[in-house]
Chains A and B, each alone.
Chain A
Amino acid sequence: MPVVFDEAAVDSESLLRVENLSVEFGSGPRAVRAVDDVSFTIGHGEILGLVGESGSGKSTLCLALMRIVPAPGVVKSGRVVFDGRDLGVLSVRQMREIRGNELALIVQDALATMNPVTRIEEQIVEILRDHAGKGTVDRKNFRERALRALRSVHLPNAELNLRRYPHQLSGGMQQRVAIAQGLILEPKLIIADEPTTALDVTVQAQILSLLREVRDTSGTSIVFVTHDLATVAEICDRVMVMYAGRIVESGTVREVFKNPEHPYTKALLSGLLPLVGEPPEELDALPGQPPRPEDWPSGCRFHPRCPVYVRLGKPDVCRETDPNVDETQSHWAACHFANQEV
């Protein structure tokens, strides 16, 4: 069967609910708000694409979900409710239980997350041992489970590779091991931060289909963070577009790709060059570059680069007020002129 996300099968209760989450770096008047008042939900077995450029806050948001924002960053306000529990009030120890067991993070540079002098087997078994509790050290059983995990991510020659060191594997194989590590405790949610960015296209295609397979077979939800809309179209059910610390558009992938409402999303989509067929003579390029958290523009943060703002004769409302959004809608965009023909 072609993989189509079945909305009816999803539990009505969402797996993860984020409410008005803000993350700041530093304190006092010089504090920099990297993530600003972000709210969203993820359903069971859903793949949510989180799209943004450098400095948009997408990686910080991921770290905040895991409660591992590095100092001097702090979660300033908001709640993260995961599977019915408010992660903010859990003890450090409880949180550690949840990380790995129920929440897993997969990053872009798999090699960097591995100990270079430890064999693949030990890398995986270590996770099992950490979460198994005392007195349950069963070497043989652990090895079996590690092997099973590597096979589940289609790592070729799993037995042989178990005895290898990280640097002896190719980039794609390293990323497979990283995914196996993330999956071994059967988490309910995987946060994958640009997991295919460093990989070749042929390998990327396989990793993407692997992630989808994981969702299909074990019902794991995935937050798929990327800057590449083409991969979002490939595997995500819903997509959120982040710009300057805020979500500017959210909806199902089909809706957003067919009827993008936010000018930024539109620009990103038109920047997605055609892979085949006749190319355009010239690209519609946005002026300027993404702002940095230290100097986010007032009002709608996209207005200095916004073609609609210019076309409408620079209305004050864009400069002065934050666009309001009805986040209960299935598809919404944070733009004053989202639903108007301009």
Chain B
Amino acid sequence: MEPSAPEEIAREPLFVVRNLDKVYGRPGRNSTRVRALDNVSIEVRRGEALGLVGESGSGKTTLGRLLVGFESPTAGSVLFQGRDIAQMRRAELGHFRNMVQMVFQNPFASLNPFRTVRDVLSSGYRRRIRRAELRTQLVEALERVGLHESMLDRYPFQFSGGQRQRIVIARALTVQPSVLIADEPVSALDVSVQAQVLNLFKALQRDLGLTIVMVTHDLRVVNFLCDRVAVLYLGRLVEVGERDEVINSSWHPYTRMLMSAAPNGDPEVRSTRPWVSSELGAAAPPEEGCIFAPRCWLREQLGNPERCLSARPESRELPVEITASPGHVVECHFAEEVPHYARLAEEQLAASDGPALPGMGSLR
């Protein structure tokens, strides 16, 4: 099906991920097999900034790498502009590689210490172009990320982490991509430098119309930069929705837990987190039922309903009547109950002045 009008192309999602599974390890050897992604379906819209959030082992990095094509799916498919990446021919794949670029976490490992900035930046230019023209292009690339042309002939070791990350971004931009997939791009940077790089990402999205997929554990970064947020837990997508909705009034108990676990940064207001429980449950996902059930505070509040342990919740879109915006997807049997019980749990905690983490009581 060919899109007929330009508006339709614009509305068509850039990436469509369908029932994606990614399993590491050899088939047949169950002990070494790790299920990094489990039946993940999501769309990436043109021009948006999408945050992929989760703790370590959630599969967020794997999903990012599948979108760039660095990994191939075990099952399911990743469609870019309607074409399955796995089915692409050589020329098409080359085009795709230029359209989708990655920014890595560690700017100290992602630049070859033996190559100058000029050399690194020129490697994206495939065809021979005139020296003078190449130079103007490289200078432009540097200026776009806030660096000066005097840096062209320097080596990576002469730059700080923040500058290196700008060089990495500049390198990605030399092939004029439409998507940047960034894997924790600021977590290795100094606090006072992070803001510079985050501003740069925002400017790139705004000025160049880039689509940005931000893989991160940092909810503050997500809240600043992203239009939509996808929350992953143990390889499953548990919630997807508009930033405001996911951050401020989530419909999934895990997202609530994640949000409350982050320090609020205000010494006057004590963090209330009635639902942070042990990391124990994170060891291996249960075979049946909801993967989050072993750590779920809502299940406890609801009196441990049988369904949570017996049936894996379907990923479903919440009715527009209860969410502020359409397209809010959650994977929880009792999503509708989340706001009510969250309020209840907070009130209970405030009233009891109990231990900071009641969940730990059972571990003693």
User: Do any beta carbons of A and B sit within 8 angstroms of each other in the complex?
Assistant: yes
Q: Which chain A positions have C-beta within 8 A of B56?
A: 171, 200
User: B220 touching A231 by the CB < 8 A rule?
Assistant: no
* Contact A283 to B266, CB < 8 A, known contacts A173-B279, A275-B259: no
A53 at the A/B interface (Cβ < 8 Å)? yes
The answer, yes or no, to whether A16 is at the interface (CB within 8 Å) is: no
A-B contact pairs, 19 of them (CB 8 A): A154-B364, A201-B262, A202-B258, A205-B262, A206-B276, A206-B357, A212-B356, A231-B263, A233-B263, A254-B268, A271-B192, A271-B195, A274-B223, A275-B219, A276-B223, A283-B199, A287-B196, A289-B190, A290-B193
The one of A2, A201, A234, A272 in contact with B55, judged by C-beta atoms closer than 8 angstroms, is A201
Per CB-CB distance, the 6 closest pairs between chain A and chain B, nearest first, are A285-B195, A273-B220, A200-B55, A230-B263, A230-B265, A283-B195
A204 to B264, CA, bound (A): 13
A110 to chain B, nearest CB (A): 14
A284 at interface (Cβ–Cβ under 8 A)? Answer: yes
Q: Chain A residues with Cβ under 8 A from B194's Cβ?
A: 271
Task: Report the Cα distance A151→B219, complex, angstroms.
Answer: 31
Which of A53, A203, A276 sits near B247, CB closer than 8 Å?
Answer: A276
Tell me which residues across on chain A come within 8 A of B258, comparing CB atoms. 201-202
Distance in angstroms from A171 CB to nearest chain B CB is 7
Given contact pairs A275-B259, A282-B199, A286-B196, a sample of 10 additional A-B residue pairs in the complex whose CB atoms are under 8 Å apart: A227-B190, A227-B191, A233-B264, A233-B265, A258-B268, A268-B192, A273-B223, A276-B259, A279-B225, A286-B192
Which residues on the A side are within 8 Å of B217 (C-beta)?
200-201
Report A243-269 CB contacts with B as 1/0, cut-off 8 Å: 000000000011001100000100110
Verify if A170 is at the interface (C-beta below 8 Å from B).
yes
A282 to B282, CA, bound (A): 36
* Cross-interface CB contact of A202 among B225, B261, B364, cutoff 8 Å: B261
Q: Any chain B CB within 8 A of the CB of A122?
A: no
Assuming the A-B contacts A275-B220, A276-B223, are A202 and B55 also in contact, with contact meaning beta carbons closer than 8 angstroms in the complex?
yes
Determine whether A208 belongs to the interface, using a CB cutoff of 8 Å to chain B.
Answer: yes
- Give the A-binding residues of B (Cβ under 8 A): 55-56, 160-163, 190-196, 198-199, 202, 217, 219-221, 223-225, 247-248, 257-268, 270-271, 273, 276, 278-280, 282-283, 353, 356-357, 360, 363-364
In the assembly, what is the distance between CA of A84 and CA of B199, in Å? 49
B267's contact among A2, A173, A254, by CB below 8 Å, is which? A254
Most chain A CB neighbours (cut-off 10 Å) among B163, B202, B247, B266: B266
A290 and B224 in contact, given A201-B217, A233-B264, A275-B265 (Cβ under 8 angstroms): no
B-chain residues with CB within 8 Å of residue A276 when the two chains form the complex: 223, 247-248, 259
Closest to B360 in A: A154
The distance in angstroms between the C-alpha atoms of A1 and B273, with both chains bound, is: 15
Q: Are A290 and B192 in contact (CB under 8 A)?
A: yes
A205 and B191: CB pair below 8 A? no
* Interface core residue of B260, B265, B282, B353 (most chain A CB under 10 Å): B265
- Are A202 and B360 in contact, CB atoms less than 8 angstroms apart? no
Cβ of A209 within 8 Å of any chain B Cβ, yes or no, is: yes
Task: List B contacts of A204 (CB < 8 A).
Answer: 261, 263
CB-nearest residue of chain B to A56: B190
- Looking at the assembled complex, report how far the CB atom of A37 sits from the nearest CB atom of chain B, in whole angstroms: 22
Task: Report chain A residues within 8 Å CB of B198.
Answer: 283
Asked if A156 is an interface residue, CB under 8 A from chain B, the answer is yes
Q: Chain B's nearest CB lies how many Å from the CB of A41?
A: 20
Closest to A257 in B: B267
Q: In the complex, what distance in Å separates the CA atom of A209 from the CA atom of B360?
A: 11
Residues of A within 8 A of B248 (CB): 276-277
**What's the Cα separation between A213 and B276 when bound, in Å?**
16
Docked Cα-Cα span, A283 to B356, in Å, equals 33
| Beta-carbon nearest neighbor of A4 in chain B | B270
A229 at the interface (CB under 8 A from B): yes
State in angstroms the CA–CA spacing of A306 and B259 once bound together: 33
- Known A-B contacts A230-B265, A257-B266; the reply to A268 vs B191 at CB < 8 A is yes
User: What chain B residues lie within 8 Å of A53 (beta carbons)?
Assistant: 190-192
Given contacts A254-B267, A273-B223, A274-B223, contact A202 B279 (CB under 8 A): yes
Q: Are A234 and B195 in contact (CB under 8 A)?
A: no
* A-side contacts of B260, CB under 8 Å: 205
Task: Flag if A289 contacts B162 (CB, 8 Å).
Answer: yes
Question: Contact between B278 and A272 (Cβ–Cβ < 8 Å)?
Answer: no
Q: How far is the CA of A7 from the CA of B130 in the complex (A)?
A: 71
Inter-chain contact A289/B193, CB cutoff 8 Å? yes
Measured CA separation A284–B198 after assembly (Å): 11
Known: A275-B220, A283-B195. A205 touches B276 (CB 8 A): yes
> In the complex, what distance in Å separates the CA atom of A275 from the CA atom of B261?
11
Contact B221 A273 (CB under 8 A): yes
Beta-carbon contact of A253 and B267 below 8 Å: yes
Asked if A54 CB lies within 8 Å of chain B CBs, one says yes
Mask of A163-177 contacts with B, CB within 8 angstroms, 1/0:
000000011110000
A290 to B264, CA, bound (A): 26
A228 within 8 A of B: yes
A29 near B: Cβ within 8 Å? no
- Interface residue from B196, B247, B271, B363 paired with A154 (Cβ < 8 Å): B363
Q: A313 at the A/B interface (Cβ < 8 Å)?
A: no
Complex Cα distance, B195 from A267, in Å, reads 10
Chain B residues, CB < 8 A from A72: none
Nearest residue (CB) in B for A305 is B192
- What A residues does B223 contact at CB under 8 A? 273-277, 279
Within 8 A of B (CB), among A185-224: 200-206, 208-209, 212-213
Given A171-B56, A274-B223, A275-B259, answer yes or no on A156-B191 (Cβ-Cβ < 8 Å). no
